[in-house]
Each structure stands twice: as structure tokens, then as C-alpha cells.
């Protein structure tokens, strides 16, 4: 991550990453398919956390309530201790179209996984998809606000603000 931030993603080689980490290139490739994957290393764990939170929401919880539980669970990952590293990661990805595309692919995977978790709770397909899409929209807006250099709010506070704004935006007149 430091190398990407210092030198730029394109200019950083796998050999440099491995050396900085005290590894051989061969060992690097045991853990990562390529240098992009270093930036997306925790996405599987995040997806698992979100899906489990949806699945574990109390019976009778609305679909959006289950997604809200997942967003609140994500707040445990995005602590103040991780703010600077997350901000750096975000700036690296934002500066590179290939990485932005990879981020979008990961987002689609999160949506599909949360929608599936909702369907397993008995939620209809359309409702599950809409709730998962809305949840990811809230997550992305919250994350971008959280990594902003001037931000001093906790991720969980920003989740609640974003959910309130979504509710206001979608309120029927």
C-alpha cells in the first residue's frame, strides 16, 4: 500500500512489493493473483461479514432492516485506526480506471451476495435486489464520506446519516 501511494500503482512492481514485505515473488503469488489484488485483499471477509449480518438479523426484520444490520456490522471493520489506510487505498483506486473497474466488480459481488442472503430469508427476488442495491449505495456514500480527509465522524454515525437521507429521498409524497 505504501509503495502504491509513494510511487503510484502503475509504477510499482510485484518484485518491489515482495521485497518491501520481506517475501519472494513466488510467495507473493501464493497469496495474490496480481498486484491489484493487494488492494482488494479484505473484500471476501467484508462480504462474509455483510452476508452473515443479513442472515443473522432477527426473524421478522424487514429486508432493509436486515441490510441496515449489515451496514452496522461493517462499522466494526471501519474503525478510526483504519481510517488513514482506507483513505490511502481509496485515493489509489480513484486515480486508476482499471482499479475502479475492479472495485465495481467487487461491488456487484457484494450486491449479489446480500440479495442471495435476503432471498434465503424468504424475501422476494425484486425486493431482495432493491434492498441490496440500496444498501450498497448507502455503503459507498458512507465510505466516501468516511475517508474524506476532513471527516471526524465514526463510520457508524455516517451510516445512520446516509440511511436517514435515503429514507428522506425515497419518501412518497
pLDDT in tens, 44-100: 999 999 999 999 999 999 999 999 999 999 999 998 888 888 999 999 999 999 999
Residues 72 and 143 in one domain: yes
DSSP secondary structure string, 62-123?
Answer: -HHHHHHHHHHHHTTTS-GGGHHHHHHHHHHHHT-HHHHHHHHHHHHHHHHHHHHHHHHTT-
User: 4 pLDDT band (50/70/90 cuts)?
Assistant: confident
* Pair 48, 131 in one domain: yes
| 107/27 same-domain check | no
Residues 7 and 72 in one domain: no
Question: Sorting pLDDT into bands at 50, 70 and 90, what band is 138?
Answer: very high
33 plus 63 within the same structural domain: no
Residues 30, 48, single domain; the answer is no
Q: 12-27, pLDDT tens digit by residue?
A: 999 999 999 899 999 9
Owning domain of residue 164: 44-170
Q: Is the pTM of this model over 0.85?
A: yes
Amino acid at each position: 500500500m505504501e509503495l502504491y501511494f509513494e510511487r503510484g500503482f502503475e509504477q510499482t512492481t510485484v518484485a518491489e512489493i515482495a521485497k518491501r514485505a520481506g517475501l519472494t515473488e513466488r510467495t507473493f503469488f501464493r497469496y495474490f493473483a496480481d498486484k491489484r489484488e493487494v488492494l482488494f485483499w479484505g473484500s471476501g471477509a467484508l462480504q462474509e461479514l455483510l452476508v452473515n449480518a443479513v442472515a443473522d438479523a432477527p426473524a421478522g426484520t424487514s429486508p432493509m432492516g436486515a441490510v441496515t444490520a449489515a451496514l452496522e456490522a461493517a462499522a466494526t471493520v471501519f474503525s478510526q485506526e483504519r481510517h488513514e489506510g482506507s483513505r490511502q487505498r481509496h485515493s489509489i483506486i480513484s486515480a486508476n480506471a482499471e482499479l475502479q473497474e475492479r472495485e465495481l466488480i467487487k461491488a456487484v459481488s457484494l450486491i449479489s451476495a446480500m440479495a442471495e442472503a435476503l432471498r434465503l430469508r424468504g424475501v422476494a427476488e425484486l425486493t431482495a435486489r432493491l434492498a441490496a442495491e440500496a444498501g450498497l449505495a448507502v455503503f459507498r456514500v458512507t465510505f466516501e464520506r468516511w475517508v474524506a480527509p476532513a471527516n471526524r465522524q465514526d463510520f457508524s454515525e455516517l451510516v445512520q446519516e446516509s440511511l436517514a437521507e435515503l429514507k428522506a429521498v425515497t419518501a412518497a409524497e
